[in-house]
Amino acid sequence: MKKRFAAGLLVMLVSMTPAVTSTFAADLYPSKVVRLVVAFPPGGATDALARIVAQKLSGRLGQQVIVENRPSPSGIGGSDSVAKSTPDGHTLLFIPSLHATNVSFFPNLPYDSIKDFAPVSLIATSPYVLTVNPGVPAKSVKELIAHLKQRPGVLNISASAIGSPQHLAAELFKRSADVDIVLVHYKGSGAILPDLLAGRVSLAFENQAVVAPSIKSGSLAGLAVTAPERSQVLPDLPTMVESGVDGFVVVGWFGVLAPAQTPPDVIRRLNAEISASMQEPDVRERVQTMGMRPLSGPPTDLRDWITREIAVWGKVIREAGIRLQ
């Protein structure tokens, strides 16, 4: 009888092991410094936003959260290091939009962008503004498209770096509006703005934080924002969809991932603390000053977002024949 009882007790304990392990891990979490990996150099938007999140998480988790920069081409090496790290919630990955487009540009990634990570939370989105030099006689997207159709191959559009959201937005616009316009690539926004102001490039899809001051001063004309909703920074501008370009939504975005198999209770804790952080007034103000919209939501929102972005941009990249050089 005693042997049968002991055997039954052992079976019961074994069957409870996953739940007990998960709860035990969550109760002890975090037990050491949490590393938030940014797979890009310090100083950029991804790094700056990650540091805001890390600062707030440190207070909420009662444990130091540090940003660890692991720069690598297109963020691949840094992302791979997190995918292969211990799935205990002490190593996280802060991702920008490249996490989704890398799937199409690099078919032999050392990790699966969906399966090898556990989504934690969306952090923010960064809309772009379709901006034109005032010399372009268009007061709306509809007028711009009509103007471009009358002058195929004459006007140009800045496309920033190859594979950037601005570049992909320009390619999507060419196809969605069926217009012939010349793409001019730049290394970054710092080089684009002077040429756009001087009229050496006619139009651009550019981060609203970069062009908003010039639009407000009248030095440039903003026609539409690329987000699903209107911008709080430029509330008078319609969206591209409102302007008649169906399905045109392009936003830079940021999120937090953990390695796959991270205990669900740890993910829930992280998600709750990040969501609360993004609602704090000082965080919202700092993020909005960067031209971004603070977000949060359940982990499934981030997973769905990445899946959708991979599908949408994979189609654009294939149809446009875009290759990184």
Interval 269-286: pLDDT, tens: 999 999 999 999 999 999
Q: What is the pLDDT of residue 186?
A: 84
Q: What pTM, to 2 d.p., does this model score? A: 0.82
Q: What is the pLDDT of residue 240?
A: 97
Question: Per-residue pLDDT averaged across 234-252, rounded?
Answer: 94
CB-based contacts of 34, cutoff 8 Å, min separation 6:
57, 61, 63, 64, 65, 66, 89, 90, 91, 92
Which pair of tokens denotes residue 237?
Answer: 């501008």
Q: Where in the chain is the domain with CATH 3.40.190.10?
A: 127-225
- Provide the Cα torsion 161, 162, 167, 171; round to 10°: 160
Three-class DSSP category at 18: helix
Is the confidence at residue 122, as pLDDT, over 70?
yes
Q: What is the pLDDT of residue 10?
A: 46
pLDDT, the chain, mean = 90
Q: What is the pLDDT of residue 162?
A: 80
Q: What is the pLDDT of residue 9?
A: 47
User: Who has greater pLDDT, 53 or 316?
Assistant: 53
Is the confidence at residue 21, as pLDDT, over 90?
no
- How far apart CA 177 and CA 271 sit, in angstroms, is 39
Q: What is the pLDDT of residue 7?
A: 46
Q: What is the pLDDT of residue 147?
A: 97
Of 102, 119, 60, which Cα lies nearest the Cα of 258? 119
Question: Per-residue pLDDT averaged across 140-147, rounded?
Answer: 97
- How far apart CA 71 and CA 61 sit, in angstroms, is 26
Q: What is the pLDDT of residue 174?
A: 93
Q: Where in the chain is the domain with CATH 3.40.190.150?
A: 31-125+252-320
- How far apart CA 309 and CA 250 sit, in angstroms, is 10
Please check whether the domain covering 127-225 is classified as CATH 3.40.50.300: no
- How far apart CA 163 and CA 323 sit, in angstroms, is 8
What kind of fold does domain 31-125+252-320 have according to CATH? D-Maltodextrin-Binding Protein; domain 2 (3.40.190)
Phi, psi of 276 (to 5 degrees): -65, -40
CA end-to-end span of the chain: 73
Q: What is the pLDDT of residue 209?
A: 83
User: Who has greater pLDDT, 187 or 218?
Assistant: 218
Is the confidence at residue 99, as pLDDT, over 50?
yes
Q: What is the pLDDT of residue 325?
A: 61
Is the confidence at residue 78, as pLDDT, over 70?
yes
Give the range among 91-105, 124-138, 149-163 with minimum mean pLDDT. Answer: 149-163
Question: Per-residue pLDDT averaged across 255-265, rounded?
Answer: 98
Q: Check if the beta carbon of residue 248 is closer than 8 Å to that of residue 142.
A: no
